[in-house]
Amino acid sequence: MFKRSLPVLAAGLLALVSLPAEDAAAQVGPVINQLQNLNAKLDAVVVPFKVVDTTGGLCDSAGTGTSTVDLEIDSDGEEGHFVVTSVLFLTVPPGVPETGFNSFHINHLEIDAERFFTRSGNLLGPTDGFGVHESIDIMGVPLRRNGDSENPISGGSFPHQIVAESADSDDIHISFFCSTTDDDLSFSRIQVSGWKRPADTITLTFTPGS
C-alpha cells in the first residue's frame, strides 16, 4: 500500500512546482497532510523480532534447595508497544531426564512494573533417555491454584502473548523457581520472539540461579 502511495505523492509534488505560486500555495496543505498521514502509518508498522541469549546459565544445582531465576525483556522504543509471543528455553545435559523441566516453575510476571501472580505447576515431565535435551515455550503453559506441584489443582494459563509499553527498563520481567534434587538444571539457550517497531531494539537479560 505504501509503495503505491509514494509515487502518487511524488507526482503531486512535481505538479505543484509547475503551478503558479498562488495556486501551489493553496494546494500545498493537502499534500503535506497526506505526507504526515503516510509517516504516521509507517511509524505504526511492526516487524517480527528474535532475540537469543546463548550464555544461559544455571537454574538450580542438585540438593541445594530452591533458587530464583529471572528473565527481563526490554525495548528501547521511545513510544509505542511491543509484543512477545514466544519464550523458549533449552536445557543443558545433565539435568534430564531425572529432573528436566519437572523442577522449573513460573513464580510471577511483571509487565510495565505491574505484577501478576501466575504460579505454574511443573512445566514438563522428564523425557526418556539420559542426556536428552529438552526445550519448552512457556507461553500458554498451565497454571495452578494450589501449592501442590505434584498434584496441582488446575487454574488458567500463562499468557499466550504479552504486550508491554516500552515505557522504561525491564518492560517484561518473569521470575521462576527452580528446585532440583537429582541433577543440575541449566539452560544453554533462551530465545524470545514477537513483534516490534522497526527502529526499536529488544534486549534479553537472564539472571541465573544458584
Domains in the chain, please, with CATH?
A: 2-44 (no CATH), 47-207 (2.60.120)
Distance CA(103)–CA(149), nearest Å, equals 9
Residues paired with residue 204 on neighbouring β-strands, in sequence order:
73
Reduced to 3 states (helix: H, G, I; strand: E, B; else coil), residue 90 is strand
Distance CA(156)–CA(197), nearest Å, equals 30
Contact 185, 104 (CB under 8 A): yes
What confidence category does residue 2 fall into, taking pLDDT thresholds of 50, 70 and 90?
Answer: very low
Distance CA(168)–CA(160), nearest Å, equals 23
- Whether the pLDDT of residue 19 is over 50: the answer is yes
Contact 156, 15 (CB under 8 A): no
The mean predicted confidence, pLDDT, of the chain is: 79
- Give the strand pairing for 82-92 and 185-196: antiparallel
Reduced to 3 states (helix: H, G, I; strand: E, B; else coil), residue 77 is coil
Distance CA(168)–CA(164), nearest Å, equals 10
Distance CA(29)–CA(149), nearest Å, equals 65
- Give the strand pairing for 185-196 and 47-53: antiparallel
Task: List, for residues 143-181, the tens digit of each pLDDT value.
Answer: 877 767 667 777 788 999 999 987 766 799 999 988 888
Please state the pTM of the whole predicted model.
Answer: 0.75
Contact 59, 186 (CB under 8 A): yes
Cell numbers linked to 101? 523441566
| Amino acid, res. 129 | G
What confidence category does residue 37 fall into, taking pLDDT thresholds of 50, 70 and 90?
Answer: low
What value does the mean pLDDT take over residues 22-39?
Answer: 66
Distance CA(32)–CA(10), nearest Å, equals 11
What value does the mean pLDDT take over residues 172-197?
Answer: 90
